[in-house]
Amino acid sequence: MQVHHFSIIKQQCGGGVPFNITIKEFAVPPPGQRLRFYAEADKPVNQKSASFVPCGWGTSIFSALGDCVRLIRQFPYEGDEAVTS
């Protein structure tokens, strides 16, 4: 496996929020998958409603990264204080 790192800053009303995205490149797709690239952000979005960590699968680094970035842009980051245990 090879690992790639990317960073973006999500612009929103409260200012910029940095996101770090890790992309794992598998030599052979994992069992049950046909795609070799998996991207995952370092923090969740949409914390007040249905919190989830943006991620994406793809046949290339850019398709996996694009899916992950699309989810980061689509949903609000509502801060760490919004997360409840």
The residue extents of the domains of the chain are 2-80
Supply 14's token pair. Answer: 């409260």
Helix ranges (DSSP H) in 1-85 = 61-74
Question: What local confidence, expressed as pLDDT, does residue 84 receive?
Answer: 39
Distance from C-alpha of 37 to C-alpha of 56, rounded to nearest angstrom? 8
Write phi, then psi, for 80 (nearest 5 degrees).
-65, -30
User: What residue type is assigned to position 27 of the chain?
Assistant: A
What angle (nearest 5°) sits at the alpha carbon of residue 74, between those of residues 36 and 6?
45
This prediction has a pTM of 0.85
The tens digit of pLDDT for each residue in 31-66 reads: 888 899 999 999 999 999 999 999 999 999 999 999
Distance CA 63, CA 32 (A): 19
Mean pLDDT of 4-22: 93
In degrees rounded to 5, what are phi and psi of residue 51? Answer: -60, 135
